[in-house]
Amino acid sequence: MPAKTRTSITSRKVSGKPAAKAKPPAVGADAATQPAPLPEKPLSRLALIVEQLKGPSGASIAELCAVTGWQAHSIRGAIAGALKRKGHVVTSARTDGIRRYRIEDAS
């Protein structure tokens, strides 16, 4: 059997053709070349909590857990930490044995 010979990268033939150039845009294709609008970004979980708490009756921990998928201690931590750090005034009231949280209006 004949011995295999190895070919180095430098010994391979390289095409003498110049690189392909991009085609110029067609006349009147301005609308077609506009980038597509980005899809609307879904609300973050903190934004969902703020949305629920700004409602007229506020929200309970159980309702916020159902909306976000978080556990109760995470909801309480978000209310006590992140929302207050963002400047929201969060109040709570116990009605019929259920504690409901609300974000007070800034006015």
Output the six-digit token pair for 34: 């506009």
Instruction: Identify the three-state secondary structure at position 26.
Output: coil
Separation of alpha carbons 23 and 26, rounded Å: 9
Instruction: Tell me the pLDDT of the chain (107 aa) as tens digits.
Output: 666 666 655 555 556 666 677 666 666 555 567 777 888 888 899 999 999 999 999 999 999 999 999 999 999 999 999 998 999 999 999 989 999 999 987 65
Q: What is the pTM of this model?
A: 0.60
So what's the pLDDT on residue 14? Answer: 59
Query: What are 15's strand-pairing partners?
Result: none
CA 59, CA 36: separation in Å to the nearest integer? 38
Fold assignment, 45-103? Arc Repressor Mutant, subunit A (1.10.10)
